[in-house]
């Protein structure tokens, strides 16, 4: 046994930037599902959807096999397709824009507010045109977008809203839970998110949306009736959530508020340590701290432009600390350049995207990990002359 590791495994000393917390009750629950004889979509999927509905203030919720397919189905339910435009942010996981292309529509990017790193609501109006159908804001790192401004604008122009809330379970906007109000909201349960079902997602539906339509898009367009009747009237996919996954997701949902409270505690500790180290005065941008309603999905700093991020990541790794990049700007990927986007189009997203660095933050982190990361980052930056 190593002196530093209770498990005799030296790799446990490496601090990843995130790690899911799966409790023993959930593990036992999964074993029960596996033994039950029903392992794909069934009673646990229904129970998970019901629990999600309660979490989102009684709204209608359907679960899917990923956050990506959830958003794609939402766009299909709104009837978005070729000739339509969807306004979104260039600073997100590429899934956000890929689903717009997947339904045959065109993404229209609007630059971010460099402080919040979210879509700059003040710039959205200028991007609205004849073909605009949907606003697709992303609550990056769990920090809610300005939903007052975005919903007011949507109403003025007769647009639908699909909130990419993949990272925002448990976040609040003016005291109300994201997803508990508004139009469509899509969540992800990927293992990196604040609650996981291994892979999975869910869609909160507005009152005018038909949940049976969501179910048909989820499973081959199938509609069943009577004892033995079946019809197919649209092209659906294969996007159902297994009961094994739903059992994991249900167990996580019981804990997500506690997970988020622990994340907040750790985030506040990061601010205290970075303040003591004078990081902001040294040119490092910290996340906004005056907003109290983030679920702290990630704690991300933006490095000064002259600091090579790859070197910082390597140096942190040598000190046993993982870090991540979330995200390079979408419009600079080759697929999007082929559509006509180019460097310089969205300067704030480009600047933030080139310097952003995700630091370790997850509920099972120990208190002592925070000063360890803060001091390591400070020391590594000193080596770069910052
Ligand atoms: C994770 C994520 C998605 C996609 O979710 P998956 O479950 O991985 O398909 C979409 N948008 C954002 C912002 C995400 O973080």
Identify the pLDDT of residue 10. Answer: 52
pTM of the model: 0.96
Measured CA to CA in angstroms, residue 152 lies from 116, 119, 130, 158, 303 at distances of 20, 15, 18, 10, 34
* Domain range summary for the chain, segments of one domain joined by +: 24-253, 256-383
Q: What is the pLDDT of residues 62-101, one digit of tens each?
A: 999 999 999 999 999 999 999 999 999 999 999 999 999 9
- Structural element, H or E, at residue 245: helix 243-276
Q: Each residue of 312-364: pLDDT tens digit?
A: 999 999 999 999 999 999 999 999 999 999 999 999 999 999 999 999 999 99
Q: Is the CATH code 3.40.50.300 the one for domain 256-383?
A: no
**Strands 229-232 and 222-225, sheet pairing:** antiparallel
Compute the distance between CA of residue 374 and CA of residue 386 in angstroms, rounded to an integer: 14
Q: What percent of the chain has pLDDT over 90?
A: 95
Pocket of ligand 1 (CB under 6 A): 66-68, 92-93, 95-96, 138, 164, 166-167, 188, 190, 201
Q: Which CATH number is correct for 24-253, 3.40.190.10, 3.20.20.140, 2.30.30.110, 3.40.640.10?
A: 3.40.640.10
Mutation test of ligand 1: which of 69, 75, 95 has the most ligand atoms closer than 8 Å to its C-beta?
A: 95
Half-sphere exposure of 52 (CA within 13 A, CB side): 33
The structure tokens listed for 236 are: 């659906």
- Mean pLDDT to the nearest integer, 18-37: 98
Best residue among 17, 68, 91, 245 to mutate for probing ligand 1's pocket (most ligand atoms within 8 Å of CB) is: 68
Instruction: Give per-residue pLDDT as tens, 42-67.
Output: 999 999 999 999 999 999 999 999 99
Same fold for the pair 24-253 and 256-383: no
């Amino acid at each position: 046994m190593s002196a530093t590791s209770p498990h005799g495994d030296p790799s446990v000393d490496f601090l990843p930037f995130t790690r899911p917390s799966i409790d023993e009750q959930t593990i036992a629950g999964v074993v029960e599902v596996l033994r039950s004889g029903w392992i794909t979509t069934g009673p646990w999927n229904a129970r998970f959807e019901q629990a999600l509905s309660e979490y989102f203030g009684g709204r209608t919720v359907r679960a899917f096999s990923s956050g990506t397919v959830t958003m794609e189905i939402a766009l299909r339910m709104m009837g978005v397709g070729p000739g339509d435009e969807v306004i979104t942010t260039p600073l997100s996981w590429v899934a956000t824009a890929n689903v717009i292309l997947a339904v045959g529509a065109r993404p229209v990017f609007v630059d971010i507010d460099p402080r919040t790193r979210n879509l700059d609501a003040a710039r959205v109006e200028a991007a609205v045109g004849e073909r605009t159908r949907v606003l697709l804001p992303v609550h990056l790192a769990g920090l809610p977008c300005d939903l007052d401004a975005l919903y007011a604008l949507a109403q003025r122009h007769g647009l639908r809203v699909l909130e990419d809330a993949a990272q925002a379970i448990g976040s609040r906007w003016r005291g109300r839970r994201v997803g508990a109000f508004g139009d469509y909201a899509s969540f992800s349960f990927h293992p990196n998110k604040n609650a996981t079902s291994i892979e999975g997602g869910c869609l909160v539906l507005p009152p005018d949306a038909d949940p049976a339509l969501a179910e048909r898009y989820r499973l081959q367009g199938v509609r069943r009736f009577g004892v033995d009747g079946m019809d197919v009237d649209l092209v659906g996919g294969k996007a159902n959530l297994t009961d094994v996954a739903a059992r994991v997701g249900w167990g996580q949902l019981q804990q997500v508020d506690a997970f988020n409270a622990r994340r907040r505690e750790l985030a506040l500790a990061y601010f205290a340590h970075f303040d003591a180290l004078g990081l902001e005065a040294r040119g490092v941008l910290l996340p906004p701290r005056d907003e109290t309603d983030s679920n702290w999905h990630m704690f991300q700093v933006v490095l000064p432009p002259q600091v090579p991020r790859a070197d910082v990541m390597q140096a942190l790794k040598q000190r046993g600390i993982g870090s991540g990049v979330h995200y390079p700007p979408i419009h600079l990927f080759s697929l999007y350049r082929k559509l006509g986007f180019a460097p310089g189009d969205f300067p704030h997203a480009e600047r933030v995207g080139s310097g952003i660095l995700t630091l370790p933050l997850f509920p099972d982190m120990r208190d002592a990990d925070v000063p360890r990361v803060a001091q390591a980052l400070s020391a590594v930056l000193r080596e770069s002359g910052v």
